């Protein structure tokens, strides 16, 4: 009778089944915080008003107890963290400067608590930055950038929002103040600092209250992981997220919280942890992860390797990028200081660059950079702080390039007048810069199609209308014409072939016919292969889930019709989940179909220059060496091609492409490419000249670059001499070429081999 007078609570708010929690564990941090707040607002174990009132009284007691603990100043967990910070050698400052530390927490309240206490401890609030789910993604990037580059920022406090695609490799020390119930998140946290390229030994400390039921399970797990880490050279962390696929760690922890005092339950939980981290099981997971699912024949491997070698020889990074950035940064009022060879510090990035990056959405540019470099090998040096790698895609470089184009695009379009000091000819040439993009059908906010690749092509046209590809950066091999030189050829600027838009149309037509198809095919092959793999994976995963929920909905409908009602999950909710998954599959397939529609946008002429051959300026005074150069170099080319064939190699003449080398030859013994720059000189000549691009090709591929020297005596070419591994140095940015002592080079040379 008493029971009938109880006021029963109505079930309100969302209900969550086990499958929902599996999805919840992989949700982004911002979504986790929203759901947690929703759960807290609705959480109660009470079924009646009377039970709810009793629960509220108990919660008030717990709240008061927690407040007393906080006010007492005796926080065991904080004390353990303080002891770590003060007594652990790895966390102390070193000769390399103050070490940076990442501290992860589970909840924002804990983060705010630690921020308050650490700020008091350190005495400088600017030494600590925070990342949590309430911070916008673009602001997270700015905080990440400050942590990595600002020497005054020492600690990053973060929830798992900092585990989502953020690189914290600047640090190699991490503390988990709270441990997540999902091992995937634990793996993601450690992966923020333990990344490819990390040269420091990474240290991770986990704060666990071992006397609690939850802590007992985690303590068992961490001890097992430590044992397996030693046995498997640390690789256990590579598969940590896969260890609990059969029995989720979350379920073990919930069972421990509920029944952990029962010795039988405790023994079963310990056995479950031991089984999950069994050494042979971990080995099997590691072997499965390392299996190669696709195979390639020898010809494919050779082709891919050759493309990689060509790309390495022609790359812009580091030398072209470095030369440009140092000049452009100074142009905008910046000052850069070289600290170690190839490594620089920036004490203040001009506001014009930082503001431009923010306005254009190019990413976060820091106010200062403790170290930057342009070569990957210089990122980490012994006993030196890591450097920020400035390369295409880095906001500092992208903003500098974008701002320069904004300021000087009209200058680029108007063009310039350059001198080719290697050409003894008497005819002007026109050089055009064409920008060309490859797009897919993915719509952008602006309504335009998305650009997935962009290249700049260079085309030269002579007075006879002959068009040729001019190479990667031909303008660097020329020097600016002086005012007197421009005046000397001014009367030639009225020639008909230089007037009107015919030249631009001719350059664009050549690009459409020859250059754009190569660019399109290269991008299309790479993208379609990736899209095929993605679509297959999406189709398999979502179809499996859809089928499961369709079947589950049918089973629940049958149970409901039989009068068996599932209070936690009904057929309608199961069907809604199946329908949402089907909708997601269709959306993903539509998106991938748009990505498949790859097409080339028309090339656009963005700039140009008039090229004056030195022969036109010097006339009868042109040195004999320059006049003879074309003949001697033709003879030299034949001699080197014959020498390569005699060695059994497979040479190919690429001199017309202006790549920075003349012959590309595949070594018959190693299968690797040799990049040969041929220089023919009269017997008795004293110097040999290498252009800007030729020098950078030598620097890009020091092992594969060969300088082939051929002396021509009385119309006959002497046997070639090869110069390998010469210690070339970067040319001055304003130099178009550098002269070398021919006798010295010959003394270092050897017969072709």
Parallel, antiparallel or unpaired: strands 673-682 and 101-104: unpaired
Q: Mean pLDDT lowest for which of 135-149, 272-286, 398-412?
A: 272-286
pLDDT band with cut points at 50, 70 and 90 for residue 5: very low
According to the model, what pLDDT value does residue 245 have? 57
Q: What is the C-alpha to C-alpha distance for residues 64 and 399, in angstroms, rounded to an integer?
A: 53
Which two tokens mark 524? 């299309």
Query: Looking at residues 501-525, what average pLDDT do you find?
Result: 92
pLDDT, mean of residues 141-164: 81
| 366 backbone dihedrals φ, ψ, rounded to 5° | -70, 160
Residue 2 has pLDDT above 50, yes or no: no
Alpha-helix runs per DSSP H in 104-166: 108-122, 137-149
Q: What is the pLDDT of residues 587-599, one digit of tens each?
A: 999 999 999 999 9
Q: H-helix or E-strand containing 38?
A: helix 29-42
Please say whether the beta carbons of 234 and 286 come within 8 A. Answer: no
Q: What pairs with residue 101 in β-bridges?
A: 155, 173
* Residues facing residue 437 across a β-bridge: 454
The residues, any chain, with a CB within 8 Å of residue 483's CB and separated by 6 or more, are none
pLDDT of the residue at 418: 96
First to last CA, the chain: 105
**pLDDT confidence of residue 247:** 59
**Diameter of the chain measured on Cα atoms:** 125
CA gap 233, 228 in Å, rounded: 8
Q: How confident is the model at residue 720 (pLDDT cuts 50, 70, 90)?
A: very high
Which is nearest to 269 in space by CA: 285, 257, 280? 257
pLDDT digits (tens, 9 = 90+) for 386-441: 899 999 889 999 999 999 999 998 988 888 999 998 888 899 999 999 999 999 99
Q: What is the mean pLDDT of residues 175-202?
A: 72
pLDDT at 24: 52
Q: What is the pLDDT of residue 342?
A: 92
Which of 10-24, 245-259, 385-399, 572-586 has the least mean pLDDT?
Answer: 10-24
Burial tier of 427 (Cβ tally within 10 Å: 0-12, 13-18, 19+) = middle
Those residues with Cβ within 8 angstroms of residue 522's Cβ, 6 or more apart along the chain or in another chain:
none
CB 678 within 8 Å of CB 663: yes
Give phi and psi for 321, each to the nearest 5: -60, -45
Confidence of residue 212 (pLDDT cuts 50, 70, 90): confident
Which residues, other chains included, contact 455 with Cβ-Cβ below 8 Å and sequence gap of 6+? 435, 436, 519
Is residue 284 pLDDT above 80, yes or no?
no
pLDDT at 292 over 50: no
């Amino acid at each position: 009778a008493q029971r009938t007078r109880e006021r029963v609570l109505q079930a309100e708010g969302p209900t969550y089944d086990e499958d929902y929690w599996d999805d919840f564990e992989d949700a982004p941090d911002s979504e986790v915080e929203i759901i947690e707040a929703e759960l807290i607002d609705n959480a109660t174990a009470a079924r009646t008003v009377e039970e709810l009132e009793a629960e509220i009284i108990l919660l008030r007691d717990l709240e008061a107890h927690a407040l007393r603990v906080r006010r007492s100043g005796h926080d065991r967990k904080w004390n353990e963290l303080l002891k770590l910070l003060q007594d652990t050698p790895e966390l102390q400052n070193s000769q390399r400067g103050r070490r940076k530390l990442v501290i992860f927490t589970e909840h924002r309240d804990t983060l705010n608590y630690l921020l308050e206490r650490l700020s008091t401890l350190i005495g400088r609030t600017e030494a600590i930055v925070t990342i949590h789910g309430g911070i916008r993604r673009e602001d997270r990037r700015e905080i990440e950038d400050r942590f990595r580059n600002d020497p005054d920022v020492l600690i990053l406090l973060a929830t798992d929002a900092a585990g989502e695609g953020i690189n914290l490799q600047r640090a190699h020390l991490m503390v988990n103040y709270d441990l997540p119930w999902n091992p995937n998140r634990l793996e993601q946290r450690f992966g923020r600092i333990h990344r490819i390229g990390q040269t420091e030994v990474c240290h991770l400390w986990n704060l666990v209250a071992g006397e609690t039921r939850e802590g007992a399970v985690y303590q068992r797990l961490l001890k097992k992981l430590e044992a397996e880490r030693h046995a498997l050279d640390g690789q256990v962390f590579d598969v940590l997220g896969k260890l609990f696929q059969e029995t989720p760690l979350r379920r073990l922890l919930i069972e421990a919280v509920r029944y952990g005092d029962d010795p039988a339950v405790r023994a079963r939980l310990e056995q479950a942890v031991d089984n999950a981290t069994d050494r042979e099981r971990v080995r099997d997971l590691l072997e499965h992860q390392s299996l190669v699912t696709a195979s390639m024949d020898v010809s494919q491997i050779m082709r891919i390797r050759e493309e990689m070698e060509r790309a390495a020889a022609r790359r812009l990074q580091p030398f072209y990028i470095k030369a440009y950035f140092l000049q452009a940064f100074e142009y905008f009022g910046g000052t850069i200081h070289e600290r170690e060879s190839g490594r620089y510090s920036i004490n203040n990035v001009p506001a014009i660059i930082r503001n431009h990056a923010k306005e254009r959405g190019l990413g976060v540019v820091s106010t200062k950079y403790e170290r930057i470099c342009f070569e990957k090998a210089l990122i980490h040096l012994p006993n030196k702080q890591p450097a920020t790698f400035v390369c295409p895609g880095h906001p500092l470089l992208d903003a500098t390039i974008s701002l320069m184009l904004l300021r000087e695009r009209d200058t680029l379009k108007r063009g310039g007048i350059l001198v080719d000091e290697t050409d003894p000819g008497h005819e002007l040439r026109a050089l055009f810069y064409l920008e060309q993009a490859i797009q897919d059908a993915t719509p952008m906010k602006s309504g335009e199609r998305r650009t997935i690749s962009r290249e700049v092509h260079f085309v030269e046209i002579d007075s006879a209308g002959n068009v040729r590809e001019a190479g990667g950066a031909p303008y660097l091999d020329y020097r600016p014409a002086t005012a007197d030189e421009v005046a000397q050829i001014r009367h030639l600027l009225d020639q008909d072939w230089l007037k009107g838009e015919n030249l631009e149309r001719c350059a664009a037509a050549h690009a459409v016919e020859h250059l754009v198809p190569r660019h399109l095919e290269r991008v299309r092959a790479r993208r379609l292969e990736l899209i095929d793999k993605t679509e297959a994976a999406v189709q398999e995963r979502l179809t499996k889930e859809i089928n499961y929920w369709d079947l589950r909905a049918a089973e629940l409908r049958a149970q409901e019709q039989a009068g068996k009602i599932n209070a936690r999950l009904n057929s309608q909710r199961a069907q809604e989940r199946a329908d949402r998954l089907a909708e997601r599959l269709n959306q993903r397939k539509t998106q991938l179909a748009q990505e498949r529609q790859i097409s080339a946008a028309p090339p656009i002429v963005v700039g140009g220059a008039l090229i004056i051959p030195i022969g036109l300026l010097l006339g009868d005074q042109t040195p004999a060496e320059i006049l003879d150069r074309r003949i001697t170099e033709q003879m030299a080319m034949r001699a080197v091609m014959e020498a390569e064939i005699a060695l059994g190699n497979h040479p190919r003449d690429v001199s017309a492409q202006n790549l920075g080398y003349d012959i590309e030859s595949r070594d018959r013994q190693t299968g690797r490419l040799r990049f040969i720059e041929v220089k023919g000189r009269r017997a008795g000549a004293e110097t040999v000249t290498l252009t800007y691009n030729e020098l950078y090709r030598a620097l890009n591929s020091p092992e594969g670059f060969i300088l082939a020297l051929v002396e021509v005596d009385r119309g006959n070419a002497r046997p070639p001499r090869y110069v390998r591994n010469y210690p070339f140095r970067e040319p001055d940015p304003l130099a178009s070429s550098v002269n070398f002592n021919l006798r010295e080079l010959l003394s270092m040379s050897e017969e072709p081999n």
